[in-house]
Every structure is written in structure tokens, then in C-alpha cells.
Amino acid sequence: GSFDVLLRPLAAAELLEGTLLTSLEADSVQKGRSSLRGRVGEMIASEDFMLIDDGLLPAGIDSSAFDGEGVPSQRTVLVDGGILKGFLYDSYAAGKDGTHSTGNSVRSGYSDLPRVGSRNLIVSSPSAHELQAGRGGYLVHGLIGAHTANPISGDFSVEARNAFRLAPGGEAQPVRSLMLAGNIFEILQTVEVGIDRRSVGSIVTPSLKVRMRVVGS
């Protein structure tokens, strides 16, 4: 059935990386591999959801004065109040759209070609609050298989790890097996953002409360 699922920061970061990040890269948009193509200015998430890419984040794992092409790093607002504001660009993708690079050229080494990529992706909300899964909901600390999600459609089917069901009495009961499924663009419409923010690699996110399909035992 459909239940409220509280994704702790690690699980939230894994889901966002496997589903949403690629759709925000300009080269994916230009190649028709993003469901967000032509949707700048539209509401794509709840009004409490904000997403920022910040290459200058203090102590950020991917922070630097400039990107892989030597373009100065900057803070780029991608989603504000649930409204899509723009995409991530390197110089090549920016040239194709007649705009400027957002300082999001990344490369694994000097011998690798640069490509568009996120730097420090920050999830936040002006109305962030402490989240509770509620009775009958689920608490998930991590995911298995988020990399198998479809980054174009946003569909995903993953296995939860270190998962618990909140019983009517309020006690958390460990779940032996739990599968989660849904579409990232649908669940973002009602997402709630917590206050327990932490860094998971280059993604900085708090817990997220979403509603999705659950199969478990």
C-alpha cells in the first residue's frame, strides 16, 4: 500500500542522487533525457522544498574556487519554493543554450574530459521542522539499488536497509524485508523537509518525509 516513509539523510541522499540529479544537468536536458525539459518556472515540488548547488560551501567536499574548466564557482538556486529555477551548466552546454556556465564542470582527473555535474547539492526549507513518520509509517536509514532508478522518468524501485515500522503503540519494529517504489517527481509534490541536516558525500540533506508505495514483511 501507500504509506508515509521517513527517509533519514543517508537514504534521502541516495534516492536524490539516483533519480533527480541527472535531470537537473543541462546536457541531459538538451539531449531529451530529462523530464524537467521546458519546465523552468513551473512548480515541481512542494512549496517548502528548496534545492541549491553551492561550489563555494565552506568545508564542502566538492568546494573549490573554480570548476573543472577554470570557471569561478558559484551558488546556484535550482528549486526555490518548489519552483524550478534553472539547470546546471558547464561551458559547452552553456554555449549551446546561449547562456553562461554555472561553474558546474567536473572531471575525475586532468586526463578526463569535463562534463556537467553537481558540486555541493543542498536540500533545505524555510519551514523545516522535526519530522515524525506517524503511526503505521516507516523509518528508513538507507537504500539498496538506488543506482538502478530511471533518471529520465524518475521511477524507482529500491530495497530499504535498516528499516523500521512504527506500530500503533508508537514503538519502532524492525522490518525483515522492505521494498519502496514510486516516482521522484510525484513524491516531491508533498515532500516535507526535516532539520537534522548532514553531509552524505557531496549532498547535504536532512531527513525527508514522503509518501510512496511499500511492500514488506
> Half-sphere exposure of residue 152, counting CA atoms within 13 Å on the CB side?
6
- Mean pLDDT, residues 3-24 taken together: 95
Mean residue pLDDT across the chain:
93
Task: Write down the pLDDT at residue 169.
Answer: 64
Is residue 114 classed as helix, strand or coil in its secondary structure? coil
Q: Structural domain boundaries of the chain?
A: 2-17+128-216, 24-124
- Asked if 64 and 73 touch (Cβ cutoff 8 Å), the reply is yes
Nearest to 213 by CA among 164, 173, 158: 158
pLDDT of residue 132: 80
Confidence (pLDDT) at 98: 96
CA of residue 143 relative to chain centroid, distance: 14
Summarize the confidence of residues 160-169 as an average pLDDT.
84
pTM comes to: 0.92
pLDDT band at 217 (very low <50, low <70, confident <90, very high): low
pLDDT of 24-41, one tens digit each?
Answer: 999 999 999 999 999 999
- Report pLDDT digits (tens) over 105-146: 999 888 888 999 999 999 999 988 988 876 678 999 999 999
Q: Given this model, what pLDDT does residue 145 score?
A: 93
Average pLDDT of 85-107? 96
